[in-house]
Amino acid sequence: MIGRSAAFQELVALIAKVAEYNAPVLIEGETGTGKELAARAIHYGSSRRDHPFVPTNCGAIPDALFENELFGHRRGAFTDARDDHPGLVALAHKGTLFLDEVDALTPKAQVGLLRFLQDQQFRPLGGRAEQQVDVRLIAACNKNLDQLVAAGQFRSDLLFRLKIMLLRVPPLRERKGDAALLAEHFVTTGSARFGKDPKPLHPDSLARLDDHDWPGNVRELENLVYREFLLADGPSILVGLPVSEAVSPRLTDEALSYREAKARAIEAFERTFLTAVMARAQGSVALAARLARTERRHLGRLLKRYGIERIPTRVTSSG
């Protein structure tokens, strides 16, 4: 977990407090904010750190297999059950069970989870005796569970048991200054992952990272940095505006007229396009103009308007 912003520091401080206790934790946050990282930080900052951290995505478990996945089965419980198979709760004994996308649980699965949370006892499929485990449960979701309860899509009693400790992971747009730190980190990890020498991020890119909304949050930033890092041929990495933001201006609570929205969309597109074409041209305005199929003078005016770095064309003497 990387960051220096006030929002990030508050999160880190809260994680340290939450880690001290064995109560269930509910982590809320938008997609790509790093909820599993927060869950791991809680686990490895707790007294359970030497025991398993077992993650699973509830949205990937079919309803018919949920109890088998969570509680396991005994040999002969069904046709293909040739051996005993421990479930996730047994694997997480004395450690932490992390349930991501807990909002995806069906009503039947919610009942099974609620029953387990009451006393941490379970019975494997085909088993006769109840088993006891010692597991800390951390759940995460990117939806508002209170709203799902109001809509009758999530059990209120299950929410109460999950929400003893509540942790909100802030979106990247609320973490001013952290995008640049993360981008530099992703260049380093990308270098090791893809076997390419690291390059510095262009100063213009670093200065503009906080201007974006990052709807995909840290995951979106990571993928964008990797792409630009791998495609960069020049001495530095130019990170342009994400395409989703360039073509879809974010509406705020303030009234936004059609003309204003159109102007913002055009500005965002031009900035994205210019940054990308200059990166491909390695800073050469002449080459960028040819790639963009426009006049060099016109391209130069646009670059000046948006403050995008350009290099002068070299003049050679014929003697």
Lowest mean per-residue pLDDT among 38-42, 96-100, 237-241, 293-297: 237-241
Amino acid 242: pLDDT: 53
Please give the domain boundaries of the chain with CATH numbers for all domains.
6-170 (3.40.50.300), 176-306 (1.10.8.60)
Contacts of 239 (CB under 8 A, 6+ apart): 183, 201, 202, 205, 208, 209, 224, 225, 228, 275
Q: Please, which pLDDT band fits residue 207 given cuts at 50, 70 and 90?
A: confident
194-224 residues labelled b (16+ CB within 10 A) or e (exposed): eeeeebebbebbbebbbebbbbbbbebbbeb
Per-residue pLDDT tens over the stretch 131-153: 899 999 999 999 899 999 999 99
Please indicate whether residue 164 or residue 62 has the higher confidence score (pLDDT). Answer: 164
Amino acid 313: pLDDT: 41
Per-residue pLDDT tens over the stretch 233-276: 778 888 765 544 444 444 444 455 667 667 777 777 787 788 77
Q: Please, which pLDDT band fits residue 293 given cuts at 50, 70 and 90?
A: confident
Q: What would the two tokens of residue 58 be?
A: 């509830």
Per-residue pLDDT tens over the stretch 155-190: 999 999 999 999 999 999 999 999 999 999 999 999
The total of other beta-carbon atoms located within 10 Å of residue 116's CB is 21
Per-residue pLDDT tens over the stretch 106-134: 999 999 999 999 989 988 776 677 889 99
Q: What would the two tokens of residue 194 be?
A: 């893809």
User: What distance in Å separates the CA atoms of residue 238 and residue 271, rounded to the nearest whole number?
Assistant: 12
> Across all residues in the chain, what is the average pLDDT?
85
Q: Specify the pTM.
A: 0.73
